[in-house]
Structure 1
Amino acid sequence: MNFKKMLKDQLAYVYFNIYHKHTSQIGNRILIYHSIGSKLPHDSYGISITKERFVEHMLFLKEQYEIIALNEDYKDKLDAQTLSITFDDGYKDNLYALEICEKYCIPFTLYITTGTIGQKDYLSQEDIKLFANSSLCTLGTHGMTHKHLGLLNYAEQEMELTESKKMLEDIIGAKVLHVSYPHGSYNADTIFLTSKIGYNIVSSSHIGLNTKANIDFKRLKRIEIIASDDIKHLERKILGYYDYLALKEKIPH
């Protein structure tokens, strides 16, 4: 374990035991996965976890938590401790996630960067149709080119959000109402455009628990799961050990 991760874990332990475990918040924790079992050339951070670890995670989550879908009933289910599972980007290896989630009846949301469809390491149109045919999967977009939306002008953002929605809808033959911000980047224009274009549920990269008191469907809170997260770290992320990281976030209004 490197020094930076060790320090992060120590701060998490102190934060949780001194403060967080005494707040007793009830709500939904959304997890972000990316790639499963692939060696991606651009993965210097560890977004691709092994297949074995992914299965280990899913079995643990299925046994220990109630896992709910991000759908129109989501707000009505925030009076209990629940989990939701999402995948960002649309990697080809997410077909393995589909197989495992169907095997254990686990609902999930898949956000696809539509500009990469059919490219090496990414899902094809035929792959996406397999997800669309699963009753456990909700499909959403992740922008057209995975650019930081918050750094783009209004017209560029509108293109990213509109074209990605249209492209995915054309592939699956159904409305797409979900989107997640690439890199977690957005601004006031982004929020306005998601409503204008017709996205009802929007996932951010802000860390925290989604509760009845703080629910914001234009920036649902999530936490990222990475390759080095064993069951202990996974459980700590769910329990809120790392929510202290939200204290330094700047949230656009």
Structure 2
Amino acid sequence: MRKEVKSKIYSLALLLGAIKFNNKNSKVLYYHDVHEDGDVPETVMSTPMSLFKKHIEIIKGNGFEIVREVTKPKGQVMLTFDDGYLGVLKNRTYFEENGLKPTIFIITSRIGKPNFMSVENIKSLAKSGFIFQSHTHTHPDLNLCTAVELEDEFIKSKTLLSELLSKEVNAICFPKGFFNDQTISVARQSGYKKLYSSIPGSYLERNAFGVICRNLVQFSSPADFKNTLFGGMTIFKKRYTNQHYHE
């Protein structure tokens, strides 16, 4: 009962947010994985394909363009997946048939581990246009890392992925969304040009930290998803900022 009440309150807040901040600003949406309905998912954070397909229909049905990278202030949606689970690979046919080439943020120490993509998987998807960027090497809580540990995490991941893909990796997504001023500074010093957070908002709307906003939608109902698409999650920006940024 309590869970249902919380869900209804969350949905109502999203609706109010969509009404208050209504916009078609370009946005980055994020998931962790997808799986066919009835299959055992690679992670509990995985989205059933039936729900994911509804999300795609809502994006297209409301006049948004799904792009590999955002280039316009309005009307574009960039899809991202965290960690590098196998579900996207298993459902690659749907992605390719619908022209979906998401960015997948890879935990490099988990490449080839159970439930995660292998080197061959990554190369195969990259050849088809999927984008791979860094999610650090071991996925630690970056707020607990020293500057030396941060540099090791960032550079090791960047180097491994760049060599694997034979191209420069210049973007990183912070594990669990946690970051602080030191994290940002060391990430930029390590050669990353784009820093992705878990704070909701529009793509071109850089917050005080200069990091890119992303909107979590992996379990969003069709109604919640549409409200997120039109800016509903902006109502939670302060809350998410307090949760993820630590001085």
TM-score by length of 1: 0.84
Q: Residue 174 of structure 1: CA displacement?
A: 1.1
Count of residue pairs the alignment pairs up: 240
Alpha-carbon distance change, 117 to 14 in structure 1, aligned in 2, over 3 angstroms: closer
Say if 1:206 and 1:223, in contact at 8 Å, map to a contact too.
yes
Q: Deviations over 1:136-179 (max 9, x none)?
A: x2210101111111221111111111101111112111111111
Match of 1:92 in 2: 86
Match of 2:227 in 1: 236
Match of 2:175 in 1: 182
Match of 2:72 in 1: 77
Alpha-carbon distance change, 21 to 52 in structure 1, aligned in 2, over 3 angstroms: closer
- Structure 2 unaligned blocks of 5 or more: none
Q: Residue 40 of structure 1: CA displacement?
A: 5.2
CA–CA separation in structure 1 for the residues paired with 2:169 and 2:79: 18
The structure 2 residue matched to 1:214, chosen from 203, 206, 211, is 206
Q: Residue 90 of structure 1: CA displacement?
A: 0.1
CA–CA separation in structure 2 for the residues paired with 1:90 and 1:14: 31
Alpha-carbon distance change, 217 to 171 in structure 1, aligned in 2, over 3 angstroms: farther
CA–CA separation in structure 2 for the residues paired with 1:5 and 1:145: 35
CA–CA separation in structure 2 for the residues paired with 1:244 and 1:4: 20
1:32 aligns with 2:30: yes
CA–CA separation in structure 1 for the residues paired with 2:92 and 2:208: 28
Q: Residue 27 of structure 1: CA displacement?
A: 2.1
Q: Deviations over 1:42-85 (max 9, x none)?
A: 63xxx111122223322332343212233xxx4x511x232111
Q: Residue 230 of structure 1: CA displacement?
A: 2.7
1:77 alignment partner, SS class: coil
1:53 aligns with 2:51: yes
Say if 1:203 and 1:217, in contact at 8 Å, map to a contact too.
no
Q: Residue 24 of structure 1: CA displacement?
A: 4.5
Q: Residue 198 of structure 1: CA displacement?
A: 1.2
Q: Which amino acid aligns with 1:106?
A: L
Higher relative contact order at CA 8 Å, sep ≥6: structure 1 or structure 2? 2
1:221 alignment partner, SS class: coil
Match of 1:161 in 2: 154
1:225 aligns with 2:217: yes
Task: State, as a whole percentage, how many aligned pairs show the same letter.
Answer: 23
Say if 2:80 and 2:102, in contact at 8 Å, map to a contact too.
yes
Match of 2:95 in 1: 101
- Structure 1 unaligned blocks of 5 or more: none
Q: Which amino acid aligns with 1:165?
A: K
1:173 aligns with 2:166: yes
CA–CA separation in structure 1 for the residues paired with 2:87 and 2:8: 29
Moved more, 94-103 or 107-116: 94-103
Match of 1:66 in 2: 65
CA–CA separation in structure 1 for the residues paired with 2:13 and 2:191: 42
CA–CA separation in structure 2 for the residues paired with 1:101 and 1:42: 19
